[in-house]
Amino acid sequence: MTDNVAALRQLLLNAPCDALPMTYQQVASALALTPPRTIAQVTQALEQLMREDAAQQKPFTAALVVSRRGDGLPAAGFFELAVDLGRFPADTAQHEEAYRAEFQRALNAR
């Protein structure tokens, strides 16, 4: 798991700006993750990245990964953990705006 976390961080930090955000599936493919539960493996690694970034007061690198739903946002778990870590407001109506700002911070911090 820690190998996935380190590889994921490197992938996101080194990806060309025009390749971001990446989808969970693109990350799974880029990291050559194998079934079962490839998206769950990505999710677990992203959550660990968020915890590490929060502990170091850094922007969430995980904000560079979104769902392929088409709305350009991460899955619900991203927002839940961001709230739990004290970085996003509990009010879900503010999540999209908070995410867009966090995405920009993460992009700028690379």
Who contacts 79 (Cβ-Cβ below 8 Å, separation ≥6)? Answer: 88, 92, 95, 99
User: pLDDT digit of tens for each residue in the chain (110 aa)?
Assistant: 668 999 999 999 999 999 999 999 999 999 999 999 999 999 999 999 999 999 999 999 999 999 988 789 999 999 999 999 999 999 999 999 999 999 999 999 99
Per-residue burial over 89-106, b = 16 or more CB atoms within 10 Å of its CB, e = otherwise: eeeeeebeebbeebbeeb
Cis peptide before 36 (omega within 30 of 0): yes
Q: Which two tokens stand for residue 90?
A: 């509990």
